[in-house]
Amino acid sequence: NKFVKCHEYSTCPPEKMEEMLCCTDQCPKLISCGHRCSKVCHSGACSPIDQCKKKVRLTCACKRKKEEFRCFNVNAVENPVKCDDECREAKKVEEQASKKKQVEAVEDIYNK
């Protein structure tokens, strides 16, 4: 909290009034990307989304690959992290294992 003497506030020029009321902490409001505004406590509009510098971790569709980006670099484009050959190979191995389990389950049913 900030204490401002009444006399100092009431006699200051209008352009200084907002500055005197500022708590000097980071603005607590959220901008449209979901991160906090990067400006110091203020009235009026918050930082635009293209100035958000928070790091965000994105994953490819299968969630194997993870990469970090600055929010302003990715908030207006589709996910830049794409599955690669290793992802496709891992998916193929997973599908083969799943099919093998299904075959074994069917064989167990018929062998009983």
- Which tens digits make up the pLDDT trace of 5-55? 888 878 888 878 877 777 788 899 999 889 999 898 888 899 898 889 999
> Which of 48, 47, 87, 50 lies closest to 67, judged by CA?
87
The pTM for the full model equals 0.57
- Average pLDDT, whole number, for the chain? 86
Contact between residue 52 and residue 72 where contact means Cβ atoms under 8 Å apart: yes
By C-alpha distance, which of 7, 8, 42, 48 is closest to 23? 42
Q: Which amino acid does the sequence have at 69?
A: F
